[in-house]
Amino acid sequence: MLDEPRRGELQRLLAEIDSLRDGPACGDQWKKWYQAVCRLLKDAYGLESKEFTGFQEIRFEAGKMMQDAGRKIESILPNIPIQTMGEDHYYRERLSEADEYLFTLLIESPGP
C-alpha cells in the first residue's frame, strides 16, 4: 500500500521519466531510476504482488535484442532489406508504458 511518503516518492519517480526519455537508452540514470522504482514497489506491495511483477514485465532491454536479431538476419540474407525498430524508439515506448503503469498505481491507491 502506498502511504504518504511512498506516494511522494512515486510522484518524484514519475516526474523523472521525461528526463529519461532524453538520455541514452538504459543508461546509468535509467538504471538508478529502475532500481528505485523496484525498491519502492517491493517495499509498498511486496515481491509477489501484481504491482511489482507488473512493472517487472515491462521489458526495456528487448530493443537491443531486436537489433541484434536484425543484424544476424541481414548477415544471412544480405540482399533482403530488413527494417528493425531502433533501440531508442523501443526504449522510449517502454518508458511511456512504465509512465502509464506507475500513474495507474498512483491514482488507484487511496490518498490521505
Q: Does 53 map to a domain?
A: yes
Q: Does 38 map to a domain?
A: yes
The verdict on pTM exceeding 0.85 is no
Mean pLDDT of 21-37: 90
3-state secondary structure of 110: coil
Residues 6+ apart with CB under 8 A from 30: 20, 23, 24, 60
Residues 53-75: tens digit of each pLDDT: 999 999 887 555 666 666 676 67
Q: Does 78 map to a domain?
A: no
Q: Does 75 map to a domain?
A: no
Residue 17 has pLDDT above 90, yes or no: yes
Residue 6 has pLDDT above 70, yes or no: yes
The pLDDT assigned to 90 comes to 80
Q: Does 40 map to a domain?
A: yes
Q: Does 50 map to a domain?
A: yes
Q: Does 103 map to a domain?
A: yes
Q: Does 79 map to a domain?
A: no
Residue 30: count other Cβ atoms within 10 Å of its Cβ: 20
Residue 111 has pLDDT above 70, yes or no: no
Residue 44 has pLDDT above 60, yes or no: yes
Q: What residue numbers bound the domain in which 22 lies? A: 4-59+87-108
The pLDDT assigned to 26 comes to 79
Residue 84 has pLDDT above 70, yes or no: no
Q: Are 49 and 41 in contact (CB under 8 A)?
A: yes
- Give the CB-side neighbour count of residue 24, counting CA atoms within 13 A: 6
Q: Specify the number of domains making up the chain.
A: 1
CA distance readout (Å), 86 to 52, 94, 111: 27, 13, 39
